[in-house]
Amino acid sequence: MKKQIKFSLVYRDMWQSSGKYQPRVDQLERIAPLIIEMGCFDRVETNGGAFEQVNLLYGENPNKAVRAFTKPFNDVGIQTHMLDRGLNALRMYPVPSDVRKLMYKVKKAQGVDITRIFCGLNEVRNIILSIKYALEAGMIPQATLCITYSPIHTVEYYSDIADKLIEAGAKEICLKDMAGIGRPGMLGKLVKSIKEKHPDIIIQYHGHSGPGLSMASILEVCENGADIIDVAMEPLSWGKVHPDVISVQAMLKDEGFDVPEINMKAYMKARAMTQEFMDDFLGYFIDPTNKHTSSLLLKCGLPGGMMGSMMADLKGVHSGINLILKSKNEPTLTIDDLLVMLFDEVEYVWPKLGYPPLVTPFSQYVKNVALMNVLQMAKGEGRWTMIDNHTWDMILGKSGRLPGELDPEIIALAKEKGFEFTDADPQSNYPDALEDYKKEMDDNGWEYGQDDEELFELAMHDRQYRDYKSGAAQKRFEDEITRAKDAAMAKNGFSEEDIKKIKRAKADPIIAPSSGQVLWEVSVDGPSIAPFIGCKIQHDQVFCYLSTPWGEYEKVYTGITGRVVEICAKQGDNVKKGDVIAYVQRCDFYA
C-alpha cells in the first residue's frame, strides 16, 4: 500500500467560495459534531480570512464563534486551521505589526492550531514575519505558495520560495491553488522538488474545482509525496468550490493510497444540515453560477471565490454600458458578451501589472482595474483612468515585490501622477497602532475581552466592530435578508401584496391596546427597541409607546418572541384601539 493521505474539510472556505455569508455561531455548533462523526477528517478549517468580518456583519461576536467552533475539534484531537493573509492578516489591506502579533496569541488561545499564512504576491518578507509571530504564540505556521499559471510561475520559482520559508521556520507548506488553474504535471513536480530537499515537511494541497483540473492535480501531488488534501462536501462541493471528499477518497483508495473511511450516515446528516443552513438564509446569497465549473477560468485565472462578486459587479455595470452603446448607435451586449470582455481584459491587464497571483486581495485589484477599463473604453475613453489607492499601493511596492516586471506604460503613469516606488520592507509602511485602539476601548468603556480578543477585533476590523457594537451591523444584515427573501419570492411570480399575505399568515399581530400616537421612544422612560423589519424581539420587551389623547405614555409589550416581518404603523402615526402595529413571526433564538 502507498503512503497515508489525510483529509482536511475546508468548511469555512466552502461557504466563502459559494456566496457572501457563512453560518451563524449556532449553526456552526450544530454541524461540528456531525463533521467529527464522519470520522474521515484529521483537520478542519474553522476560521480566518473573511470569517470574523462576516460575524461582525451579522451583528455576532466573532470571538464567540471561533471558540465555539474550534472547541469540539480540540476536544477530540482534530487539528483546526485558519487562513491568514500575511501582511493583511484577516482583512483586505495591511495591518500594523503589533496587531498582527496579537492575532496569533488570540487565535491560539481560542483553540486554533495551525495558521495558513499566504501573501498574494508570494512575498517572503510578509510571510516570514508571520511565521515568527506564529511560532512565538505556539501556533503551527503553514507557509503557503499561491499557485497560478504564467511564464514566471515555474517549479523553480516556487521551490526557491519554499526553501526560504522553511529556513525561516515554516513547519508545513501549503500549495494554494485558489483558482484551480495550476497544471497537474507542474504541481506534481513542485511537490517532488520540495520533498526531495525537505522530506519531513508536511505538504497540504488546496485546489478549487473551478476549471476542472483539481482531481488530476490531487492525484499528481499525492503520487509525488503530498500528505494532506483539502476537500469539501455536498451540497457545497464542486463548482467553484473544492472536490468532494467521497470522490477524492474513492480515487486515491483505488490507486492504493491509505485513506480514511467515511461514515456515510453522518455524511448524509451533515449534508442535510448544510442544506438546511442554505434554505434558512445563506442560499439567498449564493450565485447559482458558483455551482458550475467553467473552463473559461483557465483564460483569466480568477479564483472561484470571486465569481459571485464579479457577476454582481458585471450586472451592476451591464445596463450602464448598454445605455452608452445605445447612445452611440452601437450594438448592445449580453451579460455573456460582457463576461468574455472582462476575462479578455483581465488577461491583458494581468501581465502589465507584474503578474500578481490572483488571490485576495490582488485578484480584486486586477479584476477592478479590468472592469473599470471595460467601462471606460465603452465610453470611448482610455484604459487605466480609474485605479484605486489600494491597487496603486500594490503597484508602487507598498505590499511587497511584484513577481514580474511592471509594464513601462504603468511606470510612466505612476511618475506622471508624482507617485514614488519603494522596495522597503512592506511592514515598515504600516506603524504600530494598538495603543490608539486601547484608548478607544477605554474611552468607550469597552472590555478588552478574554485574552485581549475584543481589543484585537477592534484593531483588525475597526469599522465593522464599531457597527457591531452599535447594532447598526445587525440592522443592515436583517434588512438585507428581508430584501433577499422578498426578491426571491418576487422572482417566483409573487406580487408585493402576495408577499405581505404570506408573511402575515406565518406571523402574529401586535395590537394597539388603546388609541394614540405611535412613538419609539419617550423622554420619561428612555428608548424602546426601535424595531425594524427582521430584528429579533423578546416577549417581555417594550415594542413601542402610545401617546394617548389624555397625555399619558402607554407601553406596548411584544408578548411574542420572534422576528419582525412587517411594521404597519410608523413613528408618529395615529392608531385606534385594535389596529395592527406590526407582525411578528414566532421563533426561538439560540443563546
Average pLDDT (206-215) is 95
pLDDT tier, 68 (very low <50, low <70, confident <90, very high otherwise): very high
CB atoms within 10 A of CB 77: 8
pLDDT tier, 535 (very low <50, low <70, confident <90, very high otherwise): confident
Q: Among the listed ranges 205-219, 353-367, 437-451, which one has the minimum average pLDDT value?
A: 353-367
Burial class, 384, CB count within 10 angstroms (exposed 0-12 / middle 13-18 / buried 19+): middle
Sheet holding 516-519, edge to edge: 553-557, 542-547, 516-519, 574-575
User: What pLDDT does 318 receive?
Assistant: 81
Residue 287 predicted with pLDDT over 90: no
For 442-476, how does the pLDDT look when each residue is reduced to its tens digit (9 = 90+)? 999 999 999 999 999 999 999 999 999 999 998 88
List, as one string, the DSSP characters of 395-456.
HHTTT---SSPPPHHHHHHHHHTT-----S-GGGGS---HHHHHHHHHHHT----GGGHHHH
User: What pLDDT does 309 receive?
Assistant: 63
Average pLDDT (493-521) is 83
Alpha-carbon distance of 106 to 320, in angstroms, equals: 46
Q: What is the CA radius of gyration of the chain?
A: 26
Q: Among the listed ranges 322-331, 494-503, 548-557, 582-591, which one has the minimum average pLDDT value?
A: 582-591
What is the CB-side half-sphere exposure of residue 78 using CA atoms within 13 A?
25
Structural domain 6-283, CATH architecture: Alpha-Beta Barrel (3.20)
Alpha-carbon distance of 179 to 189, in angstroms, equals: 19
Residue 75 predicted with pLDDT over 80: yes
Ranges in the chain annotated CATH 2.40.50.100: 506-586
Which H or E run includes 95? none
User: What pLDDT does 522 receive?
Assistant: 63
Residue 26 predicted with pLDDT over 50: yes
User: What pLDDT does 434 receive?
Assistant: 97
Alpha-carbon distance of 395 to 460, in angstroms, equals: 24
pLDDT tier, 527 (very low <50, low <70, confident <90, very high otherwise): very low
Residue 183 predicted with pLDDT over 90: yes
Alpha-carbon distance of 307 to 336, in angstroms, equals: 13
User: What pLDDT does 419 receive?
Assistant: 95
User: What pLDDT does 278 receive?
Assistant: 94
Q: Which residue has the higher pLDDT, 317 or 305?
A: 317
Residue 590 predicted with pLDDT over 80: no
Provide the mean pLDDT of the chain.
Answer: 90
Residue 576 predicted with pLDDT over 70: yes
Cβ contacts of 122 within 8 Å, gap of 6 or more: 145, 146, 158, 161, 357, 403
Alpha-carbon distance of 491 to 587, in angstroms, equals: 26
pTM of the complete model: 0.83
Please give the DSSP secondary-structure letter assigned to residue 591: -
* Cis amide prior to 351 (ω within 30 degrees): no
* Cis amide prior to 96 (ω within 30 degrees): no
Residue 205 predicted with pLDDT over 80: yes
Asked if 26 and 60 touch (Cβ cutoff 8 Å), the reply is no
What 3 state SS string does 209-229 have?
Answer: CCCCCHHHHHHHHHHCCCCEE
Average pLDDT (194-203) is 98
Q: Among the listed ranges 190-194, 234-238, 442-446, 515-519, which one has the minimum average pLDDT value?
A: 515-519
For 368-407, how does the pLDDT look when each residue is reduced to its tens digit (9 = 90+)? 898 889 888 888 888 998 898 889 999 999 999 999 999 9
3-state secondary structure of 370: helix
Q: Which of 247-256, 291-300, 538-547, 564-573 is most confident?
A: 247-256
Per cent of the chain over pLDDT 90 is 62
Asked if 207 and 181 touch (Cβ cutoff 8 Å), the reply is no
Average pLDDT (239-264) is 97
Burial class, 518, CB count within 10 angstroms (exposed 0-12 / middle 13-18 / buried 19+): buried
Cell numbers describing residue 274: 448544510
Q: Among the listed ranges 138-152, 310-324, 430-444, 467-481, which one has the minimum average pLDDT value?
A: 310-324
User: What pLDDT does 422 receive?
Assistant: 95
Q: Among the listed ranges 8-17, 50-59, 404-413, 518-527, which one has the minimum average pLDDT value?
A: 518-527
List, as one string, the DSSP characters of 125-141.
HHHHHHHHHHHHHT-EE
CB atoms within 10 A of CB 552: 11
pLDDT tier, 339 (very low <50, low <70, confident <90, very high otherwise): confident
Amino acid (1-letter code) at residue 221: V
Which H or E run includes 94? none
User: What pLDDT does 435 receive?
Assistant: 97
Residue 491 predicted with pLDDT over 60: yes
Ranges in the chain annotated CATH 3.20.20.70: 6-283
Residue 543 predicted with pLDDT over 90: no
- CA nearest to 2, candidates 245, 262, 220, 259: 259
For 415-451, how does the pLDDT look when each residue is reduced to its tens digit (9 = 90+)? 999 999 999 999 998 999 999 999 999 999 999 999 9
Q: CA separation (Å) from 578 to 214, 509, 512, 514, 515?
A: 62, 10, 5, 7, 8
Structural domain 506-586, CATH architecture: Beta Barrel (2.40)
User: What pLDDT does 528 receive?
Assistant: 46
Residue 591 predicted with pLDDT over 50: no
Asked if 561 and 538 touch (Cβ cutoff 8 Å), the reply is yes
